[in-house]
């Protein structure tokens, strides 16, 4: 070995060791979600034991044994922890889970919803058939213990030592967009040290409160000095060879490299359409958004089951809704309109009428906005409770719609918006739905910009859709109905 080469190799090995030791323990969003689920399951199990114990003590079963469990405790009682976890579905969004106010609100809403469900079952059940003490103790214990556990989680995993130390590679449009997202996210998902960029004019600048620390030549040294654990690649144009090699070196040293669109999806649960290239639909949707026959079959079976349940609800509520509409604004009761479905096929949608009869008297197509003056008093309540959507179960059973999917739009609006928003027609790759990822995450879209945000949610759903995601959306929709937060 050459004496001139050996010191260089020794120096590189020493640098590698330093960087490897400096990489902190990383806990990503998916891992945090699993940790939350495990913690909630343990807490719910403890609450179940507390409920059974106090139930047994009240009934003078001094010997708290398998005999009591066999004789007195019905099988369904052991499913209460699962129901509790389902009621906490909103708090498995890591952003909400990291905020104390959202956590307190979420646990309180779960407790109230659980109590409401129990009261409904209690009044329709035979007298003395339900364990009031066991359920009451479970709700109190689960609420208290879950709140304590969640607050401990926030205190620990938002602490600096548990946060990833991140460097953004690229200070252009893509990097700046991510900075804006991070500035609007609290608490921050990771500790952002700064940015690097090969443009010498940007070195030393402060962009959206964060410094540009150097270029590709400085990357390894910055990683070592700042104990960087993650790099976010946010270069939309060409990248020079030095930057590329530096990133390979960083990855070899144990630093995790992620692209900006992936981080954007992780933080916001939507895709950044303004930053995607024209071939993104082919690369992302053809490769990642294909679904199996098993999923399509399961989704259709879920649609049929949900449609039948919805049909029963439609029969039950129609007389009351009819009376409310007649008293408020007269006939007609139902509203029909042609909407654009999967692959651009037109179909007739059915809803209860929520707007005045002359809402489009001049023939112009208008987007519904929040506090729209065309909405009647009865219509306002129906929209917030989603009762106006009930007749769409007919569309679901026929197969024009699904329970979950992008909101169906009129063809005139689709043709207009596809000229203004990139990838807008991509939402037509799947059936429209009564509810959807965009509906549970975003309110009214009164502007083109708002519509673009809703499209980002729709495309995220199309890319990541699964039966589990559909179930989560349906559960969150139940929450919006109970809280009258519908749009």
Give the domain ranges of the chain. Answer: 29-157, 164-268, 293-357+365-482
- Are 406 and 442 in contact by the 8 Å Cβ rule? The answer is no
Burial state string for 273-305 with b = 16 or more CB within 10 A and e = fewer than 16: bebbeeebbeebbeeebeeeeeeeeebeebbee
Of 8-22, 272-286, 408-422, give the lowest mean pLDDT range.
8-22
Confidence of residue 345 (pLDDT cuts 50, 70, 90): very high
- Are 231 and 165 in contact by the 8 Å Cβ rule? The answer is no
Of 145-154, 234-243, 251-260, 315-324, give the lowest mean pLDDT range.
234-243
Confidence of residue 126 (pLDDT cuts 50, 70, 90): low
Per-residue pLDDT tens over the stretch 36-69:
999 999 999 999 999 888 887 776 655 556 666 6
- Are 41 and 85 in contact by the 8 Å Cβ rule? The answer is yes
Verify cis geometry, omega within 30 degrees of 0, for the bond prior to 429. no
Q: Name, of 88-97, 228-237, 430-439, the range with top average pLDDT.
A: 430-439
Burial state string for 254-266 with b = 16 or more CB within 10 A and e = fewer than 16: ebbeeebbebbbe
> Would you state the pLDDT for residue 124?
67
- Are 216 and 198 in contact by the 8 Å Cβ rule? The answer is yes
Cross-strand partners of 481:
none
Token pair belonging to 9: 């190799």
Burial state string for 217-242 with b = 16 or more CB within 10 A and e = fewer than 16: eebbebbbebebbbbbbbbbeeeeee
> Would you state the pLDDT for residue 64?
54
Placement of tokens 């309109």 in the chain:
337
Q: Name, of 56-70, 91-105, 286-300, the range with top average pLDDT.
A: 91-105
Cα 5 to the center of its chain, rounded Å = 53
> Would you state the pLDDT for residue 16?
46
Question: In this prediction, what percent of the chain has a pLDDT beyond 70?
Answer: 83
Given CA atoms 470, 474, 43, 131 in this order, what sign does their dihedral have?
negative
Q: Name, of 118-132, 202-216, 273-287, 436-450, the range with top average pLDDT.
A: 202-216
Cross-strand partners of 194:
167
pLDDT above 80 for 280: no
- Are 184 and 268 in contact by the 8 Å Cβ rule? The answer is no
Confidence of residue 153 (pLDDT cuts 50, 70, 90): very high
Confidence of residue 196 (pLDDT cuts 50, 70, 90): very high
Q: Name, of 69-73, 84-88, 243-247, 397-401, the range with top average pLDDT.
A: 397-401
pTM: 0.80
pLDDT above 70 for 484: no
pLDDT above 50 for 22: no
> Would you state the pLDDT for residue 73?
77
Half-sphere exposure of 479 (CA within 13 A, CB side): 22
Per-residue pLDDT tens over the stretch 407-448:
999 888 898 898 899 889 889 989 999 999 999 998 777 788
Distances (CA, A) of 283 to 3, 277, 429, 463: 49, 10, 15, 11
- Rounded-to-integer distance, Cα 339 and Cα 354, Å: 17
pLDDT above 70 for 364: no
Distances (CA, A) of 474 to 15, 154, 404, 434, 462: 51, 27, 7, 10, 16
- Are 270 and 298 in contact by the 8 Å Cβ rule? The answer is no
Other residues' Cβ atoms within 10 Å of the Cβ of residue 318: 16
> Would you state the pLDDT for residue 18?
43
Mean pLDDT over 241-261 rounds to 86
Question: Residues 6 or more apart from 139 whose CB is under 8 A from it?
Answer: 111, 114, 115, 118
The CATH architecture one would assign to domain 164-268 is 3-Layer(aba) Sandwich (3.40)
Q: For residues 23 and 227, which has the higher predicted lDDT (pLDDT)?
A: 227
- Are 374 and 354 in contact by the 8 Å Cβ rule? The answer is no
């Amino acid at each position: 070995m050459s004496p001139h080469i050996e010191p260089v190799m020794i120096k590189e090995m020493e640098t590698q060791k330093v960087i490897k030791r400096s990489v902190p323990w990383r806990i990503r969003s998916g891992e945090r979600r699993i940790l939350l689920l495990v913690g909630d399951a343990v807490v719910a199990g403890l609450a179940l034991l507390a409920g059974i114990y106090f139930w047994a003590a009240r009934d003078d079963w001094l010997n708290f044994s398998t005999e009591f469990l066999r004789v007195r405790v019905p099988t369904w009682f052991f499913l209460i922890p699962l129901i509790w976890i389902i009621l906490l579905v909103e708090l498995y969004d890591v952003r909400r889970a990291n905020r104390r106010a959202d956590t307190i609100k979420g646990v309180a809403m779960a407790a109230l919803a659980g109590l409401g469900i129990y009261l409904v079952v209690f009044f329709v059940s035979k007298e003395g058939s339900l364990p009031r003490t066991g359920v009451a103790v479970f709700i109190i214990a689960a609420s208290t213990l879950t709140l304590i556990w969640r607050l401990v989680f926030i205190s620990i995993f938002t602490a600096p030592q548990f946060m990833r130390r991140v460097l953004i590679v690229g200070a252009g449009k893509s990097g700046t967009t991510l900075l804006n997202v991070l500035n609007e996210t609290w608490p921050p998902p990771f500790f952002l040290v700064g940015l690097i960029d090969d443009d010498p004019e940007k070195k030393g600048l402060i962009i959206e409160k964060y410094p540009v620390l150097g270029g590709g030549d400085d990357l390894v040294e910055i990683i070592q000095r700042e104990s960087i654990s993650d790099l976010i690649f946010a270069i939309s144009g060409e990248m020079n060879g030095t930057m590329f090699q530096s990133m390979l070196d960083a990855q070899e040293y144990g630093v995790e490299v992620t692209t900006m669109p992936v981080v954007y999806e992780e933080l916001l649960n939507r895709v950044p359409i303004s930053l995607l290239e024209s071939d993104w639909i082919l690369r992302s949707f053809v490769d990642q958004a294909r679904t199996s026959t098993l999923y399509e079959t399961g989704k259709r079976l879920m649609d049929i089951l949900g449609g039948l349940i919805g049909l029963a609800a439609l029969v039950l509520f129609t007389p009351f809704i009819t009376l409310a509409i007649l008293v408020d604004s007269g006939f007609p009761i139902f509203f029909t309109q042609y909407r654009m479905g999967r692959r651009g096929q037109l179909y007739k949608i059915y809803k209860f009428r929520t707007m005045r009869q002359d809402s489009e008297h001049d023939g112009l197509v208008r987007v519904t906005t929040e506090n729209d003056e065309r909405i009647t008093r009865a219509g306002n309540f129906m929209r917030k409770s989603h009762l106006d959507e009930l007749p769409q179960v007919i569309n679901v059973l026929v197969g024009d719609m699904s329970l979950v999917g992008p909101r169906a739009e009129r063809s005139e609006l689709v043709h207009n918006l596809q000229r203004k928003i990139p990838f807008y027609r991509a939402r037509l790759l799947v059936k429209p739905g009564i509810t959807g990822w965009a509906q549970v995450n975003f309110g009214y879209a009164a502007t083109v910009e708002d519509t673009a945000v809703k499209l980002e949610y729709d495309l995220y759903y199309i890319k990541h859709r699964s039966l589990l995601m559909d179930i989560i959306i349906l559960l969150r929709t139940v929450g919006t109905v109970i809280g009258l937060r519908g749009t």
